[in-house]
Structure 1
């Protein structure tokens, strides 16, 4: 079916769904993994799989699952302890999912990803092939951030953004974000008179919405990360449902629970979405006004003549930011030269480079096919 569902009533007929659940929805008040919640979620997803729907589960909970076995009083704050806790907890988490899904005759496959798997193009393709094959074999992939070796991601500590990228990676028809509140509210849900927003059709519907930046003490994602994930997915043509974990069955049945985020954009190429949202840049190129206009309005490649500054230490094939002299990042791209090479080339016209280097067609610094605009300027 069309990946851009017109409304939530089409969810039961969707061919492929990504479901994301956070740590706070899988654990009790003591921080331990709640097996009843795991079993209930497995039953819901197994039911959808039996109905012919492919489901990818993006699950947090590795660090939370390791807290009690290690005798820790709370989620660790330092990186090394967090990595060790995730190492212990990840095995426990996937074992519980394996047991829970086995009760319904379903197998699960663990897929651990790091930012590197979404930054490096070959890694990205490998992850895509692995997930596609698991689904073809009837397996329910259980995806999680590889917190044992992750660095930057373990500090942010949420899988919302990862879930949005996975939804695009597997060409899902819809993304369901399960959390500990029953939808997006126009203010703190505990505030008297706070109203749940049933549908969001664009950024204008979020004007004036007051959200918090942090989640619970067990999980670290807050409503801000949910909205960021919804923005990534919907801009790439994947609608989103945000609701409480207890509403998972109703959400997947297409009932009007939580908040529905309608798709706002078309399905992007995997490479461009990766550049826009997943790439951790290795440096920055500062451009003059002419170059800024050429790449943002003229859809041109970036040539050396428009570069006025080079920041960072990058190699050909690395993602870099393209910014104005005032520091405003307007685009990201895959650079065709090293930082040292660009520094030598900057400010020179194609004719000058041809004369100096003898190359008939000097490569652009960033080709237009390897460039994505993130802000109009």
Structure 2
């Protein structure tokens, strides 16, 4: 049973983690599995010990765990991660049950019940599925359960998926209004260059400007994951942008991290809570087309306070439907925003350059609406994606 706690103060530094009310912890495939050996039960036990102690101390924890695909490879006789989606789905279907069996056994030693929550990107960007996911996780947490979340790899498609569980964890942290996000992998911290070249640990990131000159590594050598330090930094930045601080460290350091010790790299929270579908649009969405804007429209849209009207659009590229994510670019082809289109691509060419009055007169009142509404825009400034300030939370 969890210890009753007073309402905690906001988590502003790693020192506040032990008093956090709710933390999302993500662990990578290479920390708990291998291609040849499948699940590392000892590693899962150590992680469960660290999380179990935090829960006993009164902190609710949602665990986002990779590893389903790699856990299923050895039982199916594969010696490497398959490249085709169907085989990955089959491996995930086998591995997810094995993974949960290990977690269930490990957490039961602490008197804790676990649950399996499998999500797709659609579950976090469609209003009804979002509400269902929120209710399910909230109820599980209120019952003292440790929810174990993974992407639903068995049914996810290339077209709409998270791509890695680091960014899924950032979205889940946003979904449950977590106090902090802890991202665990094989690397103990973010460094200012390759550790093998004598690079120095970066203990604290106050804003994305602190990372301007940092060389960040990609997927490691274990061969079972899809992320790497790049996606962890992206996920930490996603969380920070939406008001949730984040910590990147190694799975070995999980216990120290959750007790507030000086391990890993801490990312300050600097943004405000935003709609989940807009975070997805900014960081994960596969765009289906592009609109090129004139200089006046670029200036107006870049302020984040105006909708995109047909009068300011010079050209349309790609094939997309109503509601599809598209890019907005200036005359030089520089993409400075993303948005959800209010029209299908085949409707737009005849609308270009026309005012709202001209559109009404030529096509009818249904064509007076903006091509992209201000509430459906994500503005990207100086390489940092920002959400339109007028957007309301989902």
What's 1:115 paired with?
121
**Aligned with 2:322 (options 316, 328, 351):** 316
What's 1:327 paired with?
333
Please state how far the C-alpha of 1:39 moved relative to its aligned partner: 1.7
**Aligned with 1:50 (options 18, 33, 56):** 56
Q: Structure 1 unaligned runs (5+)? A: none
Please state how far the C-alpha of 1:29 moved relative to its aligned partner: 8.0
What's 1:212 paired with?
217
Q: Is the 1:3–1:174 Cα contact (8 Å) retained in structure 2?
A: no
Q: Is the 1:119–1:280 Cα contact (8 Å) retained in structure 2?
A: no
1:255-279 residue CA offsets vs partner (Å, 9 max, x unmatched): 1111111113223343432332243
What's 1:199 paired with?
204
Please state how far the C-alpha of 1:27 moved relative to its aligned partner: 2.4
What's 1:239 paired with?
245
1:232-252 residue CA offsets vs partner (Å, 9 max, x unmatched): 111111111111111111101
Give the CA RMSD over aligned residues: 2.5
Matched, 1:369 2:369: no
Secondary structure at 1:332's aligned position in 2?
strand
What CA distance in whole angstroms lies between the structure 2 residues aligned with 1:359 and 1:150?
Answer: 39
Range 15-24 or range 125-134, more displaced: 125-134
Q: Is the 1:66–1:90 Cα contact (8 Å) retained in structure 2?
A: yes
What CA distance in whole angstroms lies between the structure 2 residues aligned with 1:241 and 1:54?
Answer: 17
What's 1:60 paired with?
66
What's 2:292 paired with?
286
Q: Is the 2:328–2:337 Cα contact (8 Å) retained in structure 1?
A: yes
Secondary structure at 1:302's aligned position in 2?
coil
Matched, 1:126 2:94: no
Q: How does 1:149-228 map to 2 (within 5 A)?
A: 149-152=155-158, 158-191=164-197, 193-215=198-220, 216-228=222-234
**Aligned with 1:17 (options 19, 23, 34):** 23
What CA distance in whole angstroms lies between the structure 2 residues aligned with 1:298 and 1:373?
Answer: 7
Range 270-279 or range 128-137, more displaced: 270-279
Distance change >3 Å, CA 361–CA 212, structure 1 → 2: closer
What CA distance in whole angstroms lies between the structure 2 residues aligned with 1:124 and 1:324?
Answer: 33
What CA distance in whole angstroms lies between the structure 1 residues aligned with 2:145 and 2:336?
Answer: 41
Please state how far the C-alpha of 1:16 moved relative to its aligned partner: 0.8
Please state how far the C-alpha of 1:316 moved relative to its aligned partner: 2.5
What CA distance in whole angstroms lies between the structure 2 residues aligned with 1:223 and 1:298?
Answer: 30
Q: How does 1:321-360 map to 2 (within 5 A)?
A: 321-359=327-365
Distance change >3 Å, CA 155–CA 298, structure 1 → 2: closer
1:274-314 residue CA offsets vs partner (Å, 9 max, x unmatched): 33224333332222222111111261111111122223333
Secondary structure at 2:375's aligned position in 1?
strand
What CA distance in whole angstroms lies between the structure 2 residues aligned with 1:195 and 1:357?
Answer: 62
What CA distance in whole angstroms lies between the structure 2 residues aligned with 1:274 and 1:28?
Answer: 30
Q: Is the 2:64–2:169 Cα contact (8 Å) retained in structure 1?
A: yes
Aligned length in residues = 376
Distance change >3 Å, CA 358–CA 146, structure 1 → 2: closer
Q: Structure 2 unaligned runs (5+)? A: 1-6, 384-394
1:8-35 residue CA offsets vs partner (Å, 9 max, x unmatched): 1111111110000001110258442111
Q: How does 1:133-148 map to 2 (within 5 A)?
A: 133-148=139-154
- The TM-score with structure 2 as length reference comes to 0.88
Q: Is the 2:35–2:71 Cα contact (8 Å) retained in structure 1?
A: no
Please state how far the C-alpha of 1:344 moved relative to its aligned partner: 2.7
Please state how far the C-alpha of 1:206 moved relative to its aligned partner: 2.1
Please state how far the C-alpha of 1:114 moved relative to its aligned partner: 2.2
- The TM-score with structure 1 as length reference comes to 0.91
